[in-house]
Chain A
Amino acid sequence: MFARIWHSDAFWMFRRSPAAIVAALCAALILCGAIFAPWIAQSNPYDLSSFSLMDGFLPPAWEDGGSSRFWLGTDDQGRDMISSILYGARLSMLIGIVAMIIATVLGVGLGLAAGYYGGRFDAIVMRIADVQLALPAILTALLIDGIARGVLPSSMLENLRVVVLTIAIALSLWVNFARTARASVFVEKNKEYVQAAMIMGQRPFRVMMWHILPNIMGPLLVIMTVDLASAILLEATLSFLGIGLPADSPSLGTLIRIGMGFLLSGEWWILWVPTLFLVILVVSINILGDFLRDAFNPRLH
């Protein structure tokens, strides 16, 4: 297994592309930091007893007045910036990854079925996709969020913020998957291996999942990477707009929104540290996406 990956074309290209290696390292590092945040971070931004107001507004360690305990400084509440960011990245990546997975399952499922069965089902799915493609993702997510606010009672809404946000993001990203999956199915459907499987009398579900899906994984993987970046960006944007998460569950977007308050007052690190972190994360994932697109493009080999 390992040898097969090591000797594959894609991995060969990966080893020769310094940008992709750096991006993969950054993304992996941030992912690890996010996963292990409760063990790495010295304070927990959810736990009021783990930080103290006395430590508020400390600049990063290398500036005058900085403390070596808080390497990137503290915010107005005395929370360690590194800890906040790790926890923020944890929430942002959780929402991003779950939303991306929901979008993948939904989009690929509908796309496979639409491409496989064709006809009226295909027409309906694709019309919906067209309409949604005309609406930018942010607008869709905002709308779904607004509808959820109207439908759910406010007591429930507070507990379900993360869920609502995740679903809103997922529902605004499924279209890409559906279109790509459908287009690939149209190509694969007429190939001999699929025909053979169908003649052998296998059920449509099995043909789609076992025969077609593995052969269209390349383009889907590219979209998954790019859409993960989009999902993280969407979450950050919505939280920044004050529509996403409330201020007591800090994601990267919420941290940046809080930092905006200090834009004019000189405590630059409260704003720029999470902003820079978000940009590094998204740029890394996008570079990886670009790389995968080239790696899976047979014309470039």
Chain B
Amino acid sequence: MVYLILKRLLQSFFVMLAVAFLAFSLFRFVGDPVSQMTGVETSVEDRERLRDELGLNDPFIFQFARFTGDLVQGDFGFSYRTREPVGEMIAKRLPATLELGTFALVISLVVGIPAGIYTALRPRGFVSQSILLVTLVGVSIPTFVIGIILIFLFGVQLAWLPTFGRNGTVDLGGWSTSFLTLDGWRSLILPAMTLGVYQLTLTMRLVRAQMMEVLRSDYIRFATARGVPYRQLYFKHALANTMVPVITIIGLQFGGVVAFSIVTESVFQWPGMGLLFLESIRFVDIPVMGVYLVVIAFFFVIVNLVVDMLYVAIDPRLRVKEAA
């Protein structure tokens, strides 16, 4: 167990190092940092001095080491566009994206898992067939179109919910949250549904496939033959083995949530990190792009570490293998 965690920690460390290297290469080789920071009227001597001060004439490996050291200490550099510290910019946007992503993930699991189980248990039923058809269409409809449809239905036609922005936030010591006011919830619902729908279809299909696989297995057949009541058979014996891969799905979905949060935030003008990333691409704001990557990778690594540990905690077979 300890060995496994150590191994994963070491892997995570190398992943972070690789991402830091990518961010550093972006900063160093895509465009010239000095010409980005100075104006047209800056003299050649001043430029050279700045170059020296920034350490851009040092050997490559030193530069990378310094860059990584700064990252670890929370010094993320300055944006080319706004001249603000990137760390502050990200910190301001982080709560919006995290709350959006978490809520979307909750929607996808709370609806997706029961729907997946239902469609696996009654594969030929009318309800199951309808759900499957809807999800096939759901997978094919791009996220931004789902957003537009929701805006049109609930924002324009019914006029129930706000269609853009993040209103009613409460500041909790630097963390602005939507969860405490009605307005906050109201503006969160549409973006979270948009982001959640695609993940939901994914969750549902995977749970369904896994459940059907398990239901075909020998131990379920044996339990059926032995006369185990169906309720116990499905929800105790079969579900236990279905849930193990589902945990991994959550880890895998994190990447999707991050990627599609960029789209969702753009559709709803949600002031999160995705919108910041889009702006940084539009204006070739390399430091922001790099730091965005590093932050995303960091969360990715954390989530996967937690998932791995949950895996070991849930599946007794892994612990046995460890001991052997």
A19–B149 Cα distance when bound, in Å, is 25
* Contact partners of B266 in chain A: CB under 8 A: 240-241
A127–B284 Cα distance when bound, in Å, is 28
A278–B139 Cα distance when bound, in Å, is 13
Known: A146-B280, A150-B286, A263-B151. A134 touches B145 (CB 8 A): no
Known: A149-B284, A150-B286. A136 touches B256 (CB 8 A): yes
For residue A252, give the distance in angstroms from its CB to the closest CB of chain B.
10
* Contact partners of B110 in chain A: CB under 8 A: none
Inter-chain contact B282/A263, CB cutoff 8 Å: no
* Contact partners of B136 in chain A: CB under 8 A: 283, 286-287, 290
One of A138, A146, A151, A229 near B259 (C-beta < 8 A): A138
B114 is an interface residue with CB less than 8 A from chain A? no
Inter-chain contact A146/B281, CB cutoff 8 Å: yes
A251–B145 Cα distance when bound, in Å, is 15
Inter-chain contact B18/A150, CB cutoff 8 Å: no
Inter-chain contact A146/B263, CB cutoff 8 Å: no
Least CB separation from A140: chain B residue:
B259
B193 is an interface residue with CB less than 8 A from chain A? no
Inter-chain contact B142/A263, CB cutoff 8 Å: no
A134–B254 Cα distance when bound, in Å, is 10
Known: A237-B143, A256-B145. A243 touches B259 (CB 8 A): no
* Contact partners of A278 in chain B: CB under 8 A: 142, 145
A253–B280 Cα distance when bound, in Å, is 21
Count of A interface residues, CB-CB < 8 Å: 36
Inter-chain contact B26/A147, CB cutoff 8 Å: yes
Inter-chain contact B282/A237, CB cutoff 8 Å: no
Inter-chain contact A134/B300, CB cutoff 8 Å: yes
A213–B282 Cα distance when bound, in Å, is 41
One of A137, A143, A242, A264 near B282 (C-beta < 8 A): A242
B89 is an interface residue with CB less than 8 A from chain A? no
B2 is an interface residue with CB less than 8 A from chain A? no
Inter-chain contact B263/A241, CB cutoff 8 Å: yes
One of A136, A143, A282 near B289 (C-beta < 8 A): A143
* Contact partners of A283 in chain B: CB under 8 A: 136-137, 140-141
B262 is an interface residue with CB less than 8 A from chain A? yes
B212 is an interface residue with CB less than 8 A from chain A? no
Inter-chain contact A271/B148, CB cutoff 8 Å: yes
**Most chain A CB neighbours (cut-off 10 Å) among B139, B142, B151, B152:** B142
One of A139, A147, A263, A282 near B258 (C-beta < 8 A): A139
**Using an 8 Å CB-CB cutoff, how does the interface string of A15-28 with B read, 1 for contact, 0 for none?**
00000000000000
A1 is an interface residue with CB less than 8 A from chain B? no
A240–B255 Cα distance when bound, in Å, is 21
Known: A131-B18, A241-B262. A233 touches B256 (CB 8 A): no
A260 is an interface residue with CB less than 8 A from chain B? yes
Least CB separation from A240: chain B residue:
B144
A282–B139 Cα distance when bound, in Å, is 10
A227 is an interface residue with CB less than 8 A from chain B? no
B320 is an interface residue with CB less than 8 A from chain A? no
Inter-chain contact B156/A264, CB cutoff 8 Å: yes
**Using an 8 Å CB-CB cutoff, how does the interface string of B133-170 with A read, 1 for contact, 0 for none?**
00011011111110010011000100000000000000
Inter-chain contact A243/B144, CB cutoff 8 Å: no
**Using an 8 Å CB-CB cutoff, how does the interface string of B21-65 with A read, 1 for contact, 0 for none?**
000001000110000000000000000000000000000000000
Least CB separation from B263: chain A residue:
A237
B249 is an interface residue with CB less than 8 A from chain A? no
A274–B83 Cα distance when bound, in Å, is 40
Inter-chain contact B281/A237, CB cutoff 8 Å: no
**Most chain B CB neighbours (cut-off 10 Å) among A135, A150, A279:** A150
Least CB separation from A290: chain B residue:
B136
* Contact partners of B262 in chain A: CB under 8 A: 138-139, 142, 241
A237–B286 Cα distance when bound, in Å, is 22
B270 is an interface residue with CB less than 8 A from chain A? no
B76 is an interface residue with CB less than 8 A from chain A? no
Inter-chain contact B263/A150, CB cutoff 8 Å: no
Known: A150-B31, A286-B136. A233 touches B142 (CB 8 A): yes
One of B256, B278, B284 near A150 (C-beta < 8 A): B284
Inter-chain contact A149/B281, CB cutoff 8 Å: yes
* Contact partners of A136 in chain B: CB under 8 A: 255-256, 258-260
A80 is an interface residue with CB less than 8 A from chain B? no
Inter-chain contact B277/A142, CB cutoff 8 Å: yes
Least CB separation from B256: chain A residue:
A136
Known: A134-B300, A150-B284. A263 touches B140 (CB 8 A): no
A240–B266 Cα distance when bound, in Å, is 9
For residue A245, give the distance in angstroms from its CB to the closest CB of chain B.
14
* Contact partners of A256 in chain B: CB under 8 A: 144-145, 148
* Contact partners of A147 in chain B: CB under 8 A: 26, 30
A104–B262 Cα distance when bound, in Å, is 27
Inter-chain contact A243/B281, CB cutoff 8 Å: yes
Inter-chain contact B255/A134, CB cutoff 8 Å: yes
For residue A77, give the distance in angstroms from its CB to the closest CB of chain B.
21
Of all A-B residue pairs in the complex, the 4 with the closest CB atoms, nearest first, are A136-B259, A150-B30, A146-B281, A283-B140
Can you list 13 pairs linking A and B with CB atoms under 8 Å apart?
Answer: A135-B255, A138-B259, A150-B284, A236-B142, A241-B262, A241-B278, A263-B152, A264-B156, A275-B148, A279-B141, A282-B142, A283-B137, A283-B140
Other contacts beyond A136-B255, A139-B259, A146-B284: 14, CB < 8 A? A136-B256, A138-B262, A142-B281, A143-B289, A146-B280, A147-B26, A229-B140, A256-B144, A260-B148, A263-B151, A264-B156, A278-B145, A283-B141, A286-B140
